[in-house]
Each structure stands twice: as C-alpha cells, then as structure tokens.
Amino acid sequence: MPQCYQSIVIAAPIEEVWATVKNFHDFSWATGVIDSCEAVGGIGGTEIGAKRILNDVFHETLLECNEASHRIRYSIDDGPSPVSAQEVKNYVGTLQLRPITLSNATFVEWLSDWDSQNEDARDFCHQIYVALLRALANRLEKS
C-alpha cells in the first residue's frame, strides 16, 4: 500500500491553525496551490460527507472532521493521473494537528495511503503536500 507523509512546525497556536484548515470547503489559505474549491451539494464544510472539487479536477469527500483531535480525514474519489479512479483505490488523506506546548506552535502532519500498482502517485502527492504545508505556514506565520 503506497503512502505519503509530510510534516511541518507552524509558529502559531493550534486553535489558529485549526480555525484555518477545518472547513473542507475553504482553501483561501492556499493561494497559488489551490486555485478553486467548489463545494458540491448542500453539506457544510465541517460535516461528514461534504464534497468538493479542487482545481476543477480533484473530487474529494470529507470522512472525518474531529474538533477535539484536530484531525481531518478525506478521500480522493477521482482526479487527474496518477490519482484517477482508474489508477488509485481507497485513497484516504489525513491532516493531523498537534500542539507544541512549550512554544505555543503547532505540529502539522499530512499523510495518505491508497491501493495502487503505480508508484507515481507518491511523488505527485508529495509535491502537493509540501506546497500546501508551506502555504499554510506562510499564511499563519505572517499574522
């Protein structure tokens, strides 16, 4: 089962980071990485089952939005190659926040795993996660 993992320390309190990322329909913090985030259906961005389309090609569904654990889990239902529905099955991504209490910062992990015979998805996802985590840090550390 292929996997992808990235992490970063963000010099902002966990409550501020969580408030920025918890809405599945809001990627305003990721300017230059996510150009469009279209909410699909009438389910709110923190409710299980919420759907979105990122950059007109990534179709995703919210599986978990856990306020107490500061965790979001989602699936990629379809997307461009190498994460298309024909190439990848059971893609689950997780965004996990943890407090760094001594410095009032946040440890952010973005990980995913999926079923596929093709290893290209790992590098593809790696680049996206790196860009998203850098965008998040840039947004919050300028505040």
The secondary element (H helix, E strand) that includes residue 37 is strand 37-40
Domain that holds residue 46: 3-141
- pLDDT one-digit tens code per residue, 33-84: 999 999 999 999 999 999 999 999 999 999 999 999 999 999 999 999 999 9
As to burial, measured by CB atoms within 10 angstroms (0-12 exposed, 13-18 middle, 19+ buried), residue 36 is: exposed
Structure tokens at 13: 């309190």
Quote the pTM value: 0.95
Domain with residue 90: its CATH number is 3.30.530.20
Tokens 């599986």 label which residue? Answer: 63
- pLDDT one-digit tens code per residue, 7-27: 999 999 999 999 999 999 999
Please report, as a single letter, which amino acid is at residue 137: A
Number of domains in the chain: 1
CB 107 within 8 A of CB 100: yes
- pLDDT one-digit tens code per residue, 115-125: 998 889 999 99
Cα–Cα distance list, 38 to 26, 34, 52, 81, 141 (Å): 9, 11, 5, 20, 26
Q: How far is C-alpha 10 from the geometric centre of its chain's CA atoms?
A: 15
The predicted model gives 129-140 an average pLDDT of 97
Please say if the pLDDT value at position 142 is more than 90.
Answer: no
**Which own/partner contact pairs does 41-47 have at CB distance under 8 Å and 24+ positions apart?**
46/22
3-class DSSP assignment, residue 1:
coil
